Structure 1
Amino acid sequence: MSRYPTLYILRHGETEWNLANRLQGHFDSPLTERGREQASAQNAILKRCGLAGVSALSSPQGRAVVTAEIALAGTGLKAAPDPRLGEIGIGAWAGMLRETLLRQTPAAHDSYDLYEHAPEGEGFAALQKRCQRFLDSLTGPHVLITHGITSRMLRLILLGRTPAALRDMQGGQGVVFRLENGQQERLTLYT
């Protein structure tokens, strides 16, 4: 039996900067039309989940707040903001193109490496500590609306995996990850 309650973890819908392949970090970019459709898909998934007794928390960043509003519509839940669900900090690199940063950072082999090399960035070790403290504070089942890297780190901890496995964690917009008793299930409109 897991020491954590049942959690439903959502990544925000696609943003304009996702399309442009820009790092967002603590910066923000509006959802695209597709991003709104992805949040609507999450809404349909959540409505099938039986959310009695469940609370909701969201990153306070705009893209997550808008996703939360759409994904939770008609569920009886309203997400309270929690800064611990914010995306990994990338310092001075927020808003920059991944391609440019990869060319300028020979030590970065891929986009994940950029998060470790970002000047004044948070880094994975600090993100893991933040996510661990957050998860340890939960006292009941929740829907969590967050971001790509933060979602992966939360799920990595919940599954008892090491940070080295971060690259292997499934992502996805428009889906819901249900984590219960140390197991993960990826819910889609078609599951």
Structure 2
Amino acid sequence: MHCVYFARHGETVWNVENKICGMTDSPLTEKGRAQAAQLGEAVKNSGIVLDEILYSPLSRAADTALAVAAATGLPARVEPRLREQCFGRFEGTSPRNSPEFTAAKMQFADRYTDGESMLQLAQRIYNLLDELKQDDKTYLLVAHNGIARVVESYFHNMTNAEYAAFGIKNCELRKFDFDA
């Protein structure tokens, strides 16, 4: 069965500070680096057969992906479309679960003043997934919570509220079947 795997990056400084990261680069914490190493070992010992790791160019995802590559020996390369959504005026603000930001995530065409809309984000991720679906390789995508939300919506029906509220944990690994 043709599939793709997805993992979110390890914990970042701004995750701890409850700030909205978006395309702003926030480095991994010590815990985040340990999570990345543990993810690498988990993938290595899982029996999952992967061909390649594709990762976001932001350092938090790149560092996580490279830790998995080091543990598994898998080739890894940057995929620019996996970068996190640009949240414009919200980047660097906190808390991530503020009522204003939560409401803004329900407005799919809103660009957050100089940011990127959910529709623009979905287009680039859906285009990537459509390409990977045509490929016979099995990839591990290492990216961000916002990207996880779009990947989830590609494979599963979601309401707007479910989409806006969706999230995964740092270094959580998920499998998505193209043929399901």
User: Which TM bucket (shorter chain)?
Assistant: 0.7 to 0.9
CA distance in 2, matches of 1:168, 1:102: 12
Shift of 1:30: 1.0
Q: Which runs of 5+ in 2 are unaligned?
A: none
Deviations 1:16-64 (A, max 9, x none): 0111111111111111111112112211221133354521100001110
TM superposition outliers: structure 1 runs of 4+ over 6 Å = none
- CA offset at residue 68 of structure 1? 0.7
2:23, 2:84 within 8 Å by CA — same for their partners in 1? yes
> What's the % identity of the aligned pairs?
30
Q: CA RMSD in A?
A: 2.7
- Residue in 2 that maps onto 1:158: 155
Q: Deviation per CA, 1:65-101, whole angstroms, max 9, x where unpaired?
A: 10111122231213210111010111233222237x9
**Hey, what does 1:132 align to over in structure 2?**
126
Work out the number of aligned pairs and report it: 176
Work out whether residues 8 and 179 of structure 1, in 8 Å CA contact, stay in contact via their aligned partners in 2: yes
Amino acid at match of 1:37: A
Contact 2:50 2:140 in 1 (8 A): no
Q: 2:53 aligns with which of 53, 56, 60?
A: 56
Q: Which residue of 1 aligns with 2:65?
A: 68
SS at match of 2:62: helix
1: distance between equivalents of 2:104 and 2:67?
29
Structure 1 segment 25-64 matched on structure 2, within 5 A: 25-52=22-49, 54-64=51-61
Q: Following TM superposition, by how much is the alpha carbon of 1:132 offset from its aligned partner in structure 2, in angstroms? A: 0.6
1:160 to partner: Cα distance: 4.4
Secondary structure at the counterpart of residue 178 of structure 1: strand
Q: Does 1:90 align with 2:87?
A: yes
Q: CA deviation at 1:109?
A: 4.7
Cα deviation for residue 170 of structure 1 reads: 4.5
1:8 to 5, 14, 19: 5
What is the aligned partner in structure 2 of residue 123 from structure 1?
A: 117
| Counterparts in 2 of 1:65 and 1:175: CA distance versus 1, 3 Å | same
